[in-house]
Amino acid sequence: MDPFLKAAIDEARLGLAEGGIPIGSVLVIENEIVGRGHNRRVQNGSVVLHAEMDCLENAGRLPAASYQRATLYSTLSPCDMCSGAALLYGIPRVVVGENQTFQGPESYVRERGVEVTIADDQECIDLMREFIANCPELWNEDIGE
């Protein structure tokens, strides 16, 4: 498996162990992980720290040129907010663990010039299927439903 997707899954599992929503993300520049994060809705009471946002926040203030060489990994298809964050910073590549349990605005993100790759990873699918079955209200809250 892609070691960076594996690192994002490790983040998702860390979040699950904390009692949180199991979505993880890493930001990669030139084969190096420069930021890691996972969904913090439960842990921090946060409505903005989805996994990708937490990852970007943990990567810190980077020059525009760094984002423009980066790849954002997420275990789950990025929602409107997280997709928008990738667009804001001009991140050219997004690698998605799976988009079967939730699908963000992938077509729009592609139209805006971002390369979006769907790994269709069974471990990512299983993580979300189990979580959604166990905690449907928390999941709906996280996607504004």
Residues annotated catalytic, as ranges: 52
Angle 124-114-8 from CA coordinates, rounded to 5°: 25
Taking CB under 8 A as the criterion, the residue among 26, 28, 76, 82 binding a copy of itself is: 82
Q: Does 48 bind a copy of itself (CB under 8 A)?
A: yes
Taking each helix axis from N to C terminus, what angle separates 3-17 and 122-134, rounded to the nearest 10 degrees?
A: 20
Query: What amino acid occupies position 81?
Result: M
Residue number with CB closer to a copy of itself (17 or 108): 108
Query: Tokens standing for 75?
Result: 């275990």
Q: Does 140 bind a copy of itself (CB under 8 A)?
A: yes
Instruction: Please report, for residues 18, 63, 104, the alpha-carbon distance to residue 98 in angstroms, rounded to integers and kept in the order given.
Output: 22, 29, 11
Which residues does residue 74 pair with via DSSP β-bridges, in sequence order?
A: 25, 96
Q: Does 145 bind a copy of itself (CB under 8 A)?
A: yes
Q: Does 64 bind a copy of itself (CB under 8 A)?
A: yes
Q: Does 92 bind a copy of itself (CB under 8 A)?
A: no
Q: Does 88 bind a copy of itself (CB under 8 A)?
A: yes
Residue number with CB closer to a copy of itself (91 or 95): 91
Burial 35-50 (b: 16+ CB within 10 A, else e): bbbbbbbbeeeeeebb
Strand-strand pairing, 32-38 and 24-29: antiparallel
Q: Does 79 bind a copy of itself (CB under 8 A)?
A: yes
Taking CB under 8 A as the criterion, the residue among 46, 100, 101, 103 binding a copy of itself is: 46
**How near is the Cβ of 37 to a copy of itself at its closest, in Å?**
10
Residues of this chain that bind a copy of itself (CB under 8 A)? 41, 45-49, 53, 56-57, 59-64, 67, 79-85, 87-90, 108, 140-141, 143-145
